[in-house]
Amino acid sequence: MAVIYGIFCLVFGRSTFVQRQEMIGKHGEPFILRYLEFIPKSERDSRQFNVATAINLALGRIHLRLWPALLSVLTGDMSLVGPRTESTEAYARGNQISGGYSQRLLVRPGLVSLARVRFPYSDSVRDVRLALVYDIYYVKHGTPALDFRILGRASILLAGDALKTVVLSIRVAGRMLDHRLSTMLGNDSPSASRIASVAMPTDRAGVPLDLKPTLVVGAGEGGKTIVRELQNDTGSGLWPVAFVDDDYSLLGARVLDVPVLGNSAAIRAVVDREHIETIVLAIP
């Protein structure tokens, strides 16, 4: 990680590497949790943000970003296995959702929790309550045998996430290599990742319709639904010409013949280059 950080700084300048966040520990005592995150020095360079986002995504997928949290385990602020570790903001929200939320802090929070290995919970009220049930169960029934089962399940999930990340990295590297080879061989045709190639629609006489070129943020099911509606009904006054999405497996692809031109950090560059007049958010 130190070598990767050094290379990153040489290419993109000095950046923040280790972040800190205040968390709630045993009996409500706060402590500082450290985690890995790349933050480029420049806030306007979309290329730096794209690379940083890709690195942070990889760190998150294979859970390397939590390695500095082992320091909190060694100092006694956390356990290797225990209830979920939460920030002060998440803990305050949990107290509003359930009056018995403080029961989960009778023991030290864990780097790995029963709730985390049982289901991919979100911040919804239902998931917070369900995760609390798992946390309180661990507080009441935690044993070394249960710890070993949780660690075993976590290892399986970690191996699966690592495998998915390797496959995704191979796909992205293959796409980049194909582009480089095309450039070297003189077959560098305009690609979806470089040029939108979406013309504004015209009427039967060939006169362009007075529609606003539109950028859709989110190329998932919500984005597809919005694009279909805009393509089928020009009465809205909008015409989709590009997507941005933080899923790197979609970069360079075309969804409903609309190209995915970057992630959310590249919105400014896409708006300037494609002369976007309207942005539609298609994400929760």
C-alpha distance from residue 173 to each of 24, 55, 162, 226 (Å): 40, 14, 16, 31
pTM of the model: 0.57
Distinct helix (H) and strand (E) counts, the chain: 9, 10
Q: Which of 212, 166, 195, 189 is nearest to 260 (CA)?
A: 195
The confidence score (pLDDT) of residue 64 equals: 81
pLDDT at 189 over 50: no
Tell me the C-alpha distance between 36 and 16, whole Å.
9
Average per-residue pLDDT for the chain: 82
pLDDT at 280 over 90: yes
The confidence score (pLDDT) of residue 226 equals: 94
Cα Rg, the chain, nearest whole Å = 23
Quickly tell me which residue has 């010409």 as its tokens.
241
The confidence score (pLDDT) of residue 230 equals: 93
| Domains located in the chain, CATH noted | 2-158 (no CATH), 212-281 (3.40.50.720)
**Count of CB atoms situated within 10 Å of the CB of 94:** 22
* Type of residue numbered 75: T
List Cβ neighbours of 209 (8 Å cut-off, separation of 6 or more).
Answer: 200, 201, 202, 203, 234, 239
Q: Kindly state the tokens that stand for 197.
A: 């190639």
Q: Kindly state the tokens that stand for 41.
A: 């020095």
Higher-pLDDT residue of 199 and 137 is 137
Can you say whether the dihedral through the CA atoms of 242, 239, 267, 250 is positive or negative?
negative
> Three-state DSSP class for 99?
coil
pLDDT at 184 over 70: no
The confidence score (pLDDT) of residue 47 equals: 65
Q: What number of CA atoms fall less than 13 Å from residue 235's CA on the CB side? A: 1
> Three-state DSSP class for 170?
helix
The confidence score (pLDDT) of residue 145 equals: 94
The confidence score (pLDDT) of residue 63 equals: 81
Three-state SS across 219-257? CCHHHHHHHHHHHHCHHHCEEEEEEECCCHHHCCCEECC
Q: Kindly report, residue by residue over 104-155, the tens digit of the pLDDT.
A: 889 999 999 998 888 777 777 878 888 898 999 999 998 999 999 999 999 9
The confidence score (pLDDT) of residue 48 equals: 67
